[in-house]
Structure 1
């Protein structure tokens, strides 16, 4: 039976334990996600308490991380989502995304509306991918793909 959570702390505590096990076993998120049939980003979000895993994926991930049955069940429960509290993020990586939205949020909104009309980009029917590519000017670049279904506003 599908279960739902009403408190973030239980999944945040599990995320801490998962990250410790991941470090002890020297596993990458890609290695943990391998064999689940799910995207690395989705499995990572689940491990960090933001998504629920299907039972088989939770068992596979649990075996790789030596999680107990309770933890495997928690990975299958629907979390109370949202990791940013009601304040500006202080973690430098998360802050840069916040900053990008501060600078480009209105641009993204205007371009989405111009190309699609009044509506939103779904965060439910959604894919996320992060790639590292060489920068022709030296160093590396991050290519972040946000791929969400467009949902038009429907008058009623």
Structure 2
């Protein structure tokens, strides 16, 4: 079974059973963002995690095996994105990307923020003027090596 078919089956079973990503994340003791990313095929579950997910969703061993396939990250992304929410995130990077880079360099030096040694959290904050969304990106700073 390829990963795209697996993802579709997991999402369909999740919807049919009315199970949330948060529920699945708690069942495997992982963060909701990482778990959702793995369900969507951008990260890999280990054997135990895949087994738990398939038990929760009543999916077979073929799905369990497919959840453990190493992903091809980002290959399905359309650029520029067409989904309105994803496009707004893209727009933030277009408008503020250079600013983010300059501030990181000023505070930490010449380097990058890792997307490998990385975590992300998404929070909803109720506000009388309209609810707010906070996206917290936390990546290890990696200085460029001189040689």
TM over 0.5: yes
Q: Match for 1:107 among 95, 99, 108? A: 99
Runs of 5+ consecutive residues of structure 2 not aligned to the other structure: none
- Give the aligned partner of residue 135 of structure 2: 144
- Give the aligned partner of residue 31 of structure 2: 39
Measured after TM superposition, the shift of residue 148 of structure 1 is 0.7
Deviations 1:4-55 (A, max 9, x none): xxxxx93222212211111100111001111212111111100000000121
- Give the aligned partner of residue 66 of structure 2: 74
Q: How does the TM-score come out when normalised to structure 1?
A: 0.88
For 2:89 and 2:4, how far apart are their aligned partners in 1?
Answer: 21
Measured after TM superposition, the shift of residue 139 of structure 1 is 2.3
CA contact (8 A) 1:36 1:60 kept: yes
CA contact (8 A) 1:33 1:40 kept: yes
Q: Match for 2:22 among 30, 34, 48? A: 30
CA contact (8 A) 2:3 2:69 kept: no
Runs of 5+ consecutive residues of structure 1 not aligned to the other structure: 1-8
- Give the aligned partner of residue 84 of structure 1: 77
What RMSD in Å do the two structures reach over aligned CA positions?
Answer: 1.4
> How many residues align structurally?
146
CA contact (8 A) 2:117 2:139 kept: yes
- Give the aligned partner of residue 145 of structure 2: 154
Greater RCO (CA < 8 Å, at least 6 residues apart) = 1
For 2:108 and 2:59, how far apart are their aligned partners in 1?
Answer: 44
Q: How does the TM-score come out when normalised to structure 2?
A: 0.93
Describe the SS at the equivalent of 1:138. coil
Report runs of 4+ in structure 1 exceeding 3 Å deviation.
Answer: none
Measured after TM superposition, the shift of residue 154 of structure 1 is 0.4
